[in-house]
Structure 1
Amino acid sequence: MKKLAIVITHPIQYYAPWFKLLAIRGRVKLKVFYTWSQTSDTVKDKTFGREIKWDIPLLDGYEYEFINNVSKEPGSHHFFGIDCPELISKLTEYHPDAILFFGWNFKSHLGAMRYFHGKTPVWFRGDSTLLNESGGLRTRIRRLVLKKVYKYIDKAFYVGQENKSYFKKHGLEESQLIRASHAIDNSRFDDDTHKKYDIRAEEWREELGYESDNILIVYAGKLEMVKQVGFLIEAFKIAIKKNTKIRLLIVGNGPLETKLKEMSSHTTEIKFLPFQNQTKMPLLYRMSNVFCLPSKSETWGLGVNEAMASSRPVLVSDKVGCAKDMVTNGHNGFIFRHDDIIELVNIIQDLKLIQLNQMKARAYKNVQNFNFLNIVDALEKELLNIDQYK
């Protein structure tokens, strides 16, 4: 049986389920090597400013090992935050037919990619895009560096159109690129008589004081500059002068929390909730009428997948990486220019419940095309035919 090794920093709620699916299908043998050993129990998130322990299982159903990280400042936010002297030897002992790396910009990940290049097929998964490039000397230097890095890669599993363009710009050929779109566990957001998501969401909505004819816009994520939550608040404050039925709920924590609350202090139609863990998210999306992601830089935006899996349309900026793949303007959501507040104001003030309700089924249908099975199929197909290019 062909063996696949996966190298990734820490357990992540969007990846662990398809690791499990890959393992239980039994077509290939899988082992995941986690390089940020300090996260075996919890993840300390700097932006949220707190330690996060996910309330869904992330280590069930597949083989894994935490490799000792000796970094003096462990973390996934800088190159020297992942320093695992044993990584190469551990991978060698496993003797995989291919190694899939998540992220190159860590000391041990890049070192292992260089070591195994030409010995074992090196695969890569990342979701970077060109959407936020500013040009100039810095971009040209970065392009040269990345082209050298990606020469160590045999195959890249791209997450969407913007990500594919990024890989091509940095030297990868069409034959090296395999589509494996970002996905979530869609079934986890489905409702049934046991989960009672719709009923519980409606109860939560009523507890927060929303009326049935209110149009509730929800943002859920980190409260940091790149997310442009302040931009959304300003647009909302203008739009509500025309559309008095709209409401805005901002969910999350982060460095801008105090500032954003001050911006909203005189607008009672704007409310805040703290970070909500994974089991609450299906309720949160269903409580909304539309989910908004106004970021000025977002490699994909998996909250869009979650909202659509909850049968909710979305409102996203043109800098959200998944927009081109997932959102058809006016059909299952809306796309606005990230720096055009008037365009966002016009969309918000024109929102109508009847239109948003019609979009629900279209959003749900669309997201079913973005699933874990497609990712697993792509990996299995490449691994089972690996002798062709090994």
Structure 2
Amino acid sequence: MNHLYGLDYEFVGLELNSKMYMKGSSLFRNFAPEVFDHHIINIHHLPIMNIIKKARSIRDVENAYREPLKIIRNILREIKPDVLLLSGTYYVPWLISIAAKREHIPIVLWYSGVLSRETETAPAHIRRICSLMEKSIMSRADRTIFPSRLCKDVVEKEVTKRKIKNGYVIPNPVASIFTDPCAIEYSLERRIAAVGRYSKVKNFDLFFALHKELLRRRWQHTACFITNPDARFKKIPKAIEILPPMTTEGLKKFYISQGLIVCPSTFETFGNVPMEAACLGVPVLVSDKMGCAEILNKVGLENMIISFDDMGKVADRVQQLCGQSILPRQLHALKRILDNRLISEEINAVLIDATKKSTL
């Protein structure tokens, strides 16, 4: 957004607030008031799960949000944006996409998670409605940005069941705080860490098992886990230090203090955490089922990618990588691929391309 603001674009922030109280979107707090014309629509009285459980079809879900949809359409009709950038495929971007399509506004969909994958353990009815929601928003998108080839392949195979036209693979950018040159003293201690929301797809139980395996081998180390404070752990070893979410500055200091960041996800469209750490020169070990593995491969860091199916091999690789350094040429190549400014230019090109459709 900083990049686009420098090019003298005008922005409208459209936010649907599903909570009775919130401090405010961090995105909008990071900009001066004149940057965004910020609209907030409160929909906390319309909890999505209650609506989905009662719905017999996707149209029933849409009808439940008739009033918010009217408001969104009125806003879009008044401001007449050249293009709409939507992030994600859950119900909020889905609702906005409905209004935008009815107002004939080009839509660029920026994929984050694959909704059908994220809800695969939910009851059948919820899975069906969420699948229809994801297919619905995909059908309205004029251009689609995927954070990885893995994400694009999964969406084509499991969501659209066909090749996607006007699809672009652009990696998630890494914030400049992780890529800007700075003096760093790396940890020489055996410290391994995992960072993220505790969920089945993140597979952090395997991180706990890895810690136990390393102790069984008498490989002395410390293990930390940064996660959401409401996480419900079942089998976490007492020796693992649990830490709450941190600010960006706090995360930077944390990454630098570690010898290895471990990411055992069963599926992830990208993986921002390991890319942030790697851009600081901290070694990472990521699952081969994560989109960011493609970036590590490109810069010659394929030894930081592994299948987590064999715990013995994973433990061997952890012992090998922990405390190692990323070569300067590899670090330079990594930062260039994930450079905020260059990625912003790529996204800007997609947005401009989408506006051409509306002028033809």
Give the TM-score band, short-chain normalised.
Answer: 0.7 to 0.9
Runs of 5+ unmatched residues, structure 1: 1-18, 44-52, 203-211
Q: Is it true that 1:343 corresponds to 2:313 in the alignment?
A: yes
Note if 1:58 corresponds to 2:30.
Answer: yes
- Structure 1 residue identity aligned to 2:10: K
- Of residues 175, 182, 195, the one that matches 1:185 is 175
Taking structure 1 as reference, are residues 376 and 249 closer, same or farther at Cα in structure 2, changes over 3 Å only?
same
The DSSP-based 3-state class of the residue aligned with 2:201 is: helix
Match of 2:56 in 1: none
Distance 1:352 1:295, change over 3 A: closer
Q: What is the rounded CA distance, in whole Å, between the counterparts of 1:148 and 1:386 in structure 2?
A: 19
Judged with a 3 Å threshold, the aligned counterparts in structure 2 of structure 1 residues 229 and 100 are, in CA distance, closer, same or farther, namely same
Distance 1:74 1:372 in 2: 35
Q: Residue deviations 1:72-130, cap 9 Å, x none?
A: 15689987798734111111111111112223431x64344234337221221112358
Shift of 1:23: 1.4
Question: Matched residue of 2:246: which SS?
Answer: coil
Q: Which amino acid aligns with 1:365?
A: A
Contact 2:256 2:280 survives alignment (8 Å):
yes
Aligned to 1:160: 148
Matched-pair contact (CA < 8 Å) for 2:178–2:277: no
Alpha carbons of structure 1 residues 335 and 133: separation in structure 2 relative to 1, 3 Å: farther
Within 2, Cα distance between the matches of 1:173 and 1:313?
35
Show the counterpart of 1:278. 248
| Range that drifts further, 326-335 or 95-104 | 326-335
CA distance in 2, matches of 1:191, 1:385: 33
Give the fraction of aligned pairs with identical amino acids, expressed as a percent.
17
Asked whether the equivalents of residues 223 and 254 of structure 1 are also in contact (C-alpha less than 8 Å), the reply is no
Counterpart check, 1:29 vs 2:19 = no
Please give the secondary structure, in 1, of the residue aligned with 2:349.
Answer: helix
Residue 159 of structure 1, CA deviation:
1.2
1:154 CA drift (Å): 1.0
* 1:42 maps to which of 4, 9, 23: 23
- In the TM superposition, residue 253 of structure 1 has moved relative to its aligned partner by 3.5
Q: Is the alpha carbon distance of 1:350 and 1:330 closer, same or farther for their aligned partners in structure 2, counting shifts above 3 Å?
A: farther
**SS at 1:184 equivalent:** coil
Q: In structure 2, give the amino acid aligned to 1:297.
A: F
Paired with 1:77 and 1:320, the residues of 2 have a C-alpha distance of 32
Contact 2:260–2:321 (CA under 8 A) maintained in structure 1: no
How far, CA to CA, are the matches of 1:345 and 1:114 in structure 2?
48
For structure 2, which runs of at least 5 residues remain unmatched after alignment?
A: 53-60
Q: If each structure's helix is expressed as a fraction of its own residues, which one has the higher value?
A: 2
Q: Which amino acid aligns with 1:25?
A: L
1:33 partner letter: L
* Alignment length (residue pairs): 338
Pairing of 1:367-382 with structure 2 (within 5 A) = 367-382=335-350
The 1:23–1:71 alpha-carbon spacing in structure 2 relative to 1, beyond 3 Å, is same
Deviation, 1:386, is 4.6
**Displacement of 1:222 after TM fit?**
2.4
Is the Cα contact below 8 Å between 2:87 and 2:111 reproduced in 1?
yes
Aligned to 2:222: 247
Q: 1:171 to 1:317 in 2, by over 3 A?
A: same
Cα gap change, 1:327/1:251 in structure 2, threshold over 3 Å: closer, same or farther? Answer: farther
Query: Which position in structure 2 is the counterpart of 1:12?
Result: none
